[in-house]
């Protein structure tokens, strides 16, 4: 089974992430940040990756360290669960509408992290959550997951819808990329022979 558990402990946060790439999208995410938990739930459900996240962070300062370090741990768990990436599709994309928002994601599990982020948020907050942290999460996920990740907002005016469409779009693209390709189940998807 393609599973992984990663624990990250610093002076700012203590985070454990457990994932199963061949799951059904079940989730149990508790970070102490309600909106962020909701977004992680969407990521799990729409990627069909079982996910359990436990995070304790310095929320008395702000949410930044907890969100970023969760992205780091999740990226590391993806790398661990994928192993040498034999048989995966590698690439994934999704054009996802959510009410007024439409977000496009294209990604490559390339081991060459790069984030292209064209997702302006109309408001600085969603409830008490800083909208700039959505980018911080995906920057950490991309860097530590070795993902070439392009995310573009095509249109939208509601920050909640934009953020949620972003997580769902990445989830659907990730679901496609980590799936086993039955035509090349024993091969690494690269002419280099390694990713």
Q: What is the pLDDT of residue 153?
A: 98
Burial class (CB in 10 A: 0-12, 13-18, 19+), 34: exposed
**In whole numbers, what is the pLDDT of the chain averaged over residues?**
97
Q: What is the pLDDT of residue 132?
A: 98
Each residue's pLDDT tens digit, 74-123 = 999 999 999 999 999 999 999 999 999 999 999 999 999 999 999 999 99
C-beta of residue 149 within 8 angstroms of C-beta of residue 105: yes
For the chain, helix (H) and strand (E) counts, in that order, are 4, 10
> What residue segments make up the domains of the chain, in order of their start?
3-184
> Which superfamily, per CATH, for 3-184?
Imidazole glycerol phosphate dehydratase; domain 1 (3.30.230.40)
Q: Where are the alpha helices (DSSP H) in the chain?
A: 34-47, 64-82, 132-145, 159-178
CA distance 64 to 58: 9
Name the band, by pLDDT with cuts 50, 70 and 90, for residue 1. confident
Beta-bridge partners for 105? 94, 151
């Amino acid at each position: 089974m393609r599973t992984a558990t990663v624990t990250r402990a610093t002076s700012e946060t203590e985070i454990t992430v457990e994932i199963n790439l061949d799951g059904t999208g079940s989730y149990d995410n508790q970070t102490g940040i309600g909106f962020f938990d909701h977004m992680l739930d969407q990521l799990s459900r729409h990627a069909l990756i079982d996910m359990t996240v436990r995070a304790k962070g310095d929320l008395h300062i702000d949410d930044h360290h907890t969100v970023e370090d969760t992205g780091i741990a999740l990226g590391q768990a993806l790398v661990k669960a994928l192993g040498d990436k034999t048989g995966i599709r590698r690439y994934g994309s999704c054009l996802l509408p959510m009410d007024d928002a439409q977000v496009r994601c294209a990604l490559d599990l390339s081991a060459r992290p790069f984030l292209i982020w064209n997702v302006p948020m109309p408001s600085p907050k969603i409830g008490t959550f800083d909208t700039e942290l959505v980018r911080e999460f995906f920057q950490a996920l991309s860097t530590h997951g070795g993902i070439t990740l392009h995310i573009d907002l095509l249109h939208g005016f509601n920050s909640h819808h934009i953020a949620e469409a972003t997580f769902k779009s990445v989830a659907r693209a990730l679901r496609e990329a980590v799936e086993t390709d039955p035509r090349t189940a024993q091969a690494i998807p690269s002419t280099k022979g390694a990713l």
